[in-house]
Structure 1
């Protein structure tokens, strides 16, 4: 993953006409998908960017924006494994239960996904396979106690943080933001090339 800073991210959002939310704790949640989409590792990032006292604060969390190897080979959907299409999804998530286990950011509005149905290790992002709807594409963590190194079963299309401590910080920021701006969170997924 190439290096970037707050300006790189805000410039990429502006270039693609994606919004940037202003105001203290008004969260901009941005995924950046690595060029290496065949890996079964947390080689992507989730960026949380917001303002505080007129300064920009950025957190960069190791994550995956791709489904793990298990679900690439064993799709949950007959149409194929879900891979989120890069773009901006306004108000797509709210704080809520992930698999009835713990609170995460859970999908409440439609998202676009590619459907990869050849059941191999590689990710196929064919525009003719794009599907749109409510598929349970959540933003959650992998393990509860340790940093995860392999994606495997942690994602069937969800956006997943590798480190539970990073996830705890994200959720604390989300709760603070929700108390000020309401319960919905937008998500922008960029590719490494877009930076």
Structure 2
């Protein structure tokens, strides 16, 4: 996927690749997405990859969908790779997290103030919106998003988040305080794959003179 999209994969020792995967489920207020973190742990020679998956949300919670802070609607981060867009800092000045500080990010604003996630119908904007990567509750596991995300990428479990921060600290000590975040929308990828498959089948049909055989019958 990275090669097809032209995305960067970082392969220097302990340099983090941080990818979010937005699930096909469009029900709001659920931690039904994933953050994948992978890094080369070999100090020299051929890369040896460590790969970790954490439950999260990449979508805003129901509260902020209904009560947006911005009159144009609550921000939903658009899929893409945001190179060097993040660094270790303080989320809302309160606790350590990855905060948006480098390159701009792209969002779609859900403006209709209901509890339905609208990924394709709002206004698109690019800039600095405080779309951070942080935790939900400071203790244990959180089961509903609620006020924990107004567009941020939020870890479900605080233990996972604390471990993630340790990886970020190691990255910073070697490669500096800049991090790239890549977001993939699984529904969009599925649609692209189906479209590619349909085009491929059409080309096959054309190559065989506009017909093909199924169970010995001409179609």
TM-score (norm: length of structure 2): 0.81
Q: Does 1:45 align with 2:34?
A: yes
- 2:138 alignment partner in structure 1: 144
| Residue 127 (structure 1) shift | 6.2
Aligned residue among 19, 25, 39 for 2:8: 19
- 1:6 alignment partner in structure 2: none
Q: Does 1:68 align with 2:61?
A: yes
| Residue 126 (structure 1) shift | 2.6
| Residue 37 (structure 1) shift | 2.1
- SS of corresponding position for 2:146: coil
**Residues 128 and 144 of structure 1: CA distance in aligned 2, closer, same or farther (over 3 Å):** closer
| Residue 15 (structure 1) shift | 1.8
Contact 1:32 1:192 (C-alpha < 8 Å) held by counterparts: yes
Greater Rg by CA: 2
Q: Does 1:59 align with 2:48?
A: no
| Residue 39 (structure 1) shift | 2.9
- SS of corresponding position for 2:10: coil
Deviating above 6 A after TM superposition, structure 1's stretches of 4 or more consecutive aligned residues are none
Please, which moves more after superposition, 127-136 or 48-57? 127-136
- 2:194 alignment partner in structure 1: none
Q: Which consecutive residues of structure 1, in runs of 5 or more, have no partner in the other structure?
A: 1-11
Q: Does 1:98 align with 2:91?
A: yes
Distance (whole Å) between structure 2 residues aligned to residue 169 and residue 63 of structure 1: 14
| Residue 34 (structure 1) shift | 0.5
Deviation string 1:47-106 (CA, Å, 9 cap, x unpaired) is 101111121111100000000000011111111100000000010100001111111000
**Residues 70 and 128 of structure 1: CA distance in aligned 2, closer, same or farther (over 3 Å):** closer
- SS of corresponding position for 1:21: coil
Q: Does 1:87 align with 2:80?
A: yes
Contact 1:73 1:121 (C-alpha < 8 Å) held by counterparts: yes
Contact 1:37 1:66 (C-alpha < 8 Å) held by counterparts: no
- 1:122 alignment partner in structure 2: 116
Higher RCO structure (Cα 8 Å, ≥6 apart): 1
Count how many residue pairs are aligned between Structure 1 and Structure 2: 184
